[in-house]
Structure 1
Amino acid sequence: MYYPSALVTVKPSIDNSSFYLQLDDNTTLAPTNMKVSPFGKKEVRALVNYTLDDQAETSPHSRAVRINWIDSILTKPLAANLGNMNEKTYGDDPVEIINDWVTIAEDGYLTLRFRTRWGYGVKHTINLVPSAEKEQPYKVRLYHNAKSDLAGRIGDALVAFRIKSTATQTENSSDTENIVDLILEWKSYSGIKTATFKYRVPKEPITGITEGSFVKMLD
């Protein structure tokens, strides 16, 4: 029970009278021991440890589960593309993106585990900015501002970004047709790097965003 079972999206109802967990693009989990989301009306990404509850009714969800613990991840919207002002506004300090099971594009989110230097209790900022190039609508750039906190110990953090897209699935389109290459660009300690994620475009437009609490010294 010490380690997370999964990375999920916590999806409460409008009034938070109920909620469920989106495990991946196709699988949902129905908590049987928690009626309302511990994060209120906020939709956030979270790490969760759960146990399958085979005795409970699952409909309309894929599985029934008992939540042992759940902790939210900092969840943010895309930041505005400010052109030549991006680096000045959002910072240009290096990070490394870690190839890990939580580094994934799914359910309308890009979740990242990244590594940098931390120290002295300074709150860093991290932002994801969409490309201004019309021919690359699924390219994004990660910006990190360490607030001059560059000499601390190396440590990891998690952040999730909700990806807005002008394109959404149509009712008649197949899942295969709506899987695109999402290109992430960032400044690493050895220069500019890129990574490509397979991303399934959501069927519905994405709206609203809230922040989580998993990373305490990150904004």
Structure 2
Amino acid sequence: MAGSGSGSPPCASCKLLRRRCTQECVFAPYFPPDDPHKFAIVHKVFGASNVSKMLQELPAQQRADAVSSLVYEANARMRDPVYGCVGAISYLQQQVSQLQVQLALAKAEILCVQMQHDESAAASAAPAPAKQQQLYHHHQQQQTMECEAYGSLLVQNGLMMNTLGSAGAAHQQQQMLGGFGSAGNTAMALQEACLKKETLWA
């Protein structure tokens, strides 16, 4: 791209730095004069000399992607001077973890309701003796309490995620779930436990 020497306006970098823009200007292909904010923010965060050095060390075919990354990181640093784009990534990961918790809780509730419905239907179809009926109700109550315990664990974990709201939230989630693993594995563990109980009482 030709610089101001051929009659074209200087690129955003040379215009901001008040210097002559030549055909060899490393900034000209990536910082056009009609978008001064793009270079201004990169210059503010990284410095023009550092950006120039990085671009010169890269092959020409990789420079456009490098500039896009620098612009993205610079904008993220302006919004969050401490974490930058890492803070944005951590925030999105936290939202994914919260959705996983909600999904696992919903699956646990559906599983408990389904099993209670199936057991009630089976008990109505084949009335059991009084003692066996008492054991059945005791088993049903125990199963419900365990399902609620799993659900309570997930709810507490979700509330903790909302309270933390930081880059370490995903790590805290893993510590709280402990042996149950991820939120999806928690639902699977609940399902396996309930199926085992169903087999024992069949």
TM-score > 0.5, shorter chain as reference: no
**1 or 2, which has the higher helix percentage?**
2
Task: Give me the TM-score of the superposition, normalised by structure 1.
Answer: 0.19
**1 or 2, which has the higher strand percentage?**
1
Higher-Rg structure is 2
